[in-house]
């Protein structure tokens, strides 16, 4: 009976998972596993609904996934931009604001008909 307790008492417990962070979407990116990356990022976005960072990151993952994800990617960047506008001044990384501005402009250009975005001679 004592031996059984000792064997059971020496069992190794699994390491606890690290807590989810708002920047986990782009951790360990593997282009051949974008579907799994997006699922993980969906969980991060859900865990941090008022933080624009995961939405900005998911925009990038969706953009890499192909043109069928373009609408969803642009919805993410619009939502992230709205959240960034609500943030206290100085509370967000200036690079995030720049990224959002550029990506929002790309989405607006993509929404225009091809004749409007064509370069005129």
Taking alpha carbons only, the member of 71, 69, 41, 37 closest to residue 56 is 41
Residue 4 lies in a domain: no
45 in any annotated domain: yes
Q: Bin 94: left if φ > 0, else alpha if -120 < ψ < 50, else beta.
A: alpha
What are all long-range contacts of 45-53, with beta carbons under 8 Å and residues at least 24 apart?
Answer: 45/76, 47/20, 47/22, 48/22, 50/83, 51/22, 51/83, 52/79, 52/80, 52/81, 52/83, 52/84, 52/87, 52/92, 52/96, 52/100, 53/22, 53/23, 53/80, 53/96
Percentage of the chain surpassing pLDDT 90? 64
pLDDT at 15: 66
| Structure-block tokens of residue 51 | 């933080």
Decide if 14 is inside a domain.
no
Domain membership of residue 102 as a residue range: 22-111
111: helix, strand or coil: helix
Average pLDDT of the chain? 86
Q: Quick check: 3 pLDDT over 80?
A: no
pLDDT for residue 116: 47
Confidence of residue 17 (pLDDT cuts 50, 70, 90): confident
Q: What is the pLDDT of residues 28-67, one digit of tens each?
A: 889 899 999 999 999 999 999 999 999 999 999 999 999 9
| Residue 34 covered by a domain | yes
Number of domains in the chain: 1
The per-residue pLDDT for 89 is: 87
Average pLDDT in the 73-83 region? 97
How many other CB atoms are there within 10 angstroms of residue 77's CB atom? 26
Say what the pTM is: 0.78
C-beta of residue 31 within 8 angstroms of C-beta of residue 46: no
Instruction: Examine residue 94 and state whether it is found in any structural domain, yes or no.
Output: yes
Asked, for residue 118, whether it belongs to a domain, the answer is no
């Amino acid at each position: 009976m004592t031996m059984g307790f000792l064997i059971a008492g020496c069992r190794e417990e699994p390491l606890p998972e690290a807590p989810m962070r708002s920047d986990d979407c782009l951790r360990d990116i593997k282009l051949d596993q974008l579907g799994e990356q997006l699922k993980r990022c969906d969980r991060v976005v859900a865990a941090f609904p008022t933080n624009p960072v995961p939405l900005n990151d998911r925009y990038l993952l969706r953009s890499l996934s192909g043109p069928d994800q373009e609408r969803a990617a642009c919805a993410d960047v619009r939502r992230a931009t709205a959240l960034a506008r609500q943030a206290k001044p100085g509370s967000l990384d200036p690079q995030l604001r720049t990224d959002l501005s550029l990506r929002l402009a790309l989405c607006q250009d993509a929404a225009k008909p091809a004749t409007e975005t064509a370069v005129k001679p």
